[in-house]
Chain A
Amino acid sequence: MTPSVPVQTTVRTPPLAEPSGWHRITLTVNGEQITAEVESRLLLSDFLRDRLGLTGTHVGCEHGVCGACTVLLDDEPVRTCLALAVQCDGVSVRTVESLAPGDAPLTSVQRAFHECHGMQCGFCTPGFVMTATALTEQPERPGPEEVADALGGHLCRCTGYRNIRRAVCQALDERFGE
């Protein structure tokens, strides 16, 4: 997944819309080292979607309630609508696109969501999948309360939580043994 020699990408600076602070940041996104000029007020969610074209990260409420925009920052789930791109200088970001790039097989979490039908409309799915990925990467199996707390950080407006929880349990079973 992570290239042995990082690909270096420089993102072009769009024309200045207004005279506010601009900053050069370097961060790793899905294993690729990226340098970009960003405006201070640019949210990480908009940086990922609009500047990098990584539209798998979904934007729902934009004030930290729905969890659709959750990605992993230095391996921890974080809401990208509550992070500024400029804060992420030197940080490692993993979005849903990192999980099965190109023709790579689905990860255990993705497969579990598929097999358990852990989705209805699918809008909230990328956030759930990234939080679930972080749960499976913990050194020890998280307990049911910890899983519920983590999934509670996401809103599924189709009320599909039952299958989502089944999917996460399946992925955890696969990772830690039943």
Chain B
Amino acid sequence: MKPTPFDYTTARSVAEAVALLADPTRDAKIMAGGQSLIPMLNMRLARPELLVDITRIPELSHLTVDASGALHIGAAVRQSRTAADPAVRRGWPLLAAAIEHIGHPQIRSRGTVCGSLAHHDPAGELPTVARALDARFVITGPRGIRTVRAEDFFVATFSTAVGEDELLLEAVFPPPPAQHGWAFEELTRRHGDFATVAVSVLLERDSVAGTVRSARVVFSGAGPVPVRLPAAEDTLVGTRVGEEALAAARRAALAGLSPSADVHASAAHRRETAAHLLVRACTTAWERC
């Protein structure tokens, strides 16, 4: 349970970090909070030649709301700081709630939001929330800066749109609809474990009609990437989220999800649980609208 030898450096700027990643002579890996990477190093599942610590780069420690109302979370910003931030709790309560499901305070005190997103464990909490909130990812590298939408960001298990020679600079969360309700529901064997199944729900209320104007339903633990389920969303739009709509959403989840089996749950159990959590989450989200 000790890492293989590697070199370590503290990047002082984004340019320096990108230059280190581009060095063809050494296999470099970015490290932020290290709460996913260090276990992999300890178990020797990861064997980088060089670790580039980005947590001391001043331009990555911002947690700000811009003029358009979008939340910017820099790559060095820790989960505990994000969840405790008053602006985040007010404007993006789904994000704050999901962070509180990550491990324990002893993990969140070091772990970063962008680190979890770039690591992309498909059973993780943040990828599903990023998809539900339609987050944007700002990535830099030798070919310049680009922005990727959440639906294109998560590629496969432990794989994202961030290239080998690229660095995730920040995650940007657009302002949620003015009148919205949200819910994050998760099944784990113990609190703090990775999700067997989790669901993020975001409902926008049409204040004139008193019904759902738009809905976002995204699962984790249901595939190699966060799974958005438009069929379930369609059953909710235009309704007051009553018994009928919830039953239809449940059927949509049972029909539309094809999770895999593992030691924690069979595929059938996972699908049943996902449908159940969806009903619970939709009910809660509607109550919060």
User: What is the distance, in angstroms, from B20's C-beta to the closest C-beta of chain A?
Assistant: 13
Which of A36-44, A97-105, A112-120, A161-169 forms contacts with chain B? A36-44
Instruction: Classify the interface of chain A: helix, strand, loop or mixed.
Output: mixed
State whether the Cβ of A129 lies closer than 8 Å to any Cβ in chain B: no
Asked if residues A64 and B35 are in contact (CB atoms below 8 Å), the reply is yes
Query: When A82-B35, A149-B191, A153-B103 are in contact, do A43 and B5 touch as well, CB less than 8 Å?
Result: no
User: What is the distance, in angstroms, from B171's C-beta to the closest C-beta of chain A?
Assistant: 22
User: What is the distance, in angstroms, from A26's C-beta to the closest C-beta of chain B?
Assistant: 14
A59-B148 Cα distance, complex, nearest whole Å: 41
State whether the Cβ of A126 lies closer than 8 Å to any Cβ in chain B: no
User: What is the distance, in angstroms, from B57's C-beta to the closest C-beta of chain A?
Assistant: 14
Query: When A82-B34, A153-B192 are in contact, do A77 and B2 touch as well, CB less than 8 Å?
Result: no
Asked if residues B191 and A82 are in contact (CB atoms below 8 Å), the reply is no
State whether the Cβ of A21 lies closer than 8 Å to any Cβ in chain B: yes
Asked if residues A86 and B8 are in contact (CB atoms below 8 Å), the reply is yes
Q: How many residues of B contact A (CB 8 A)?
A: 32
Mark interface residues in A138-154 (1 if CB within 8 Å of B CB, else 0): 00000000000110110
Chain B residue at minimal CB-CB distance from A62: B1
Which of B104-112, B135-143, B249-257, B272-280 forms contacts with chain A? B104-112
State whether the Cβ of A157 lies closer than 8 Å to any Cβ in chain B: no
A residues less than 8 Å from B109 (CB atoms): 73, 76-78
User: What is the distance, in angstroms, from B170's C-beta to the closest C-beta of chain A?
Assistant: 21
B residues less than 8 Å from A23 (CB atoms): 8
Within 8 A of B (CB), among A1-31: 18-21, 23
Among A43, A79, A83, the most chain B Cβ lie within 10 Å of the Cβ of A79
Within 8 A of B (CB), among A51-67: 61-64, 67
Q: Could you list which residues of chain A lie within 8 angstroms of chain B, going by C-beta atoms?
A: 18-21, 23, 39-41, 43, 46, 61-64, 67, 70, 73, 76-79, 81-84, 86-87, 89, 131, 149-150, 152-153
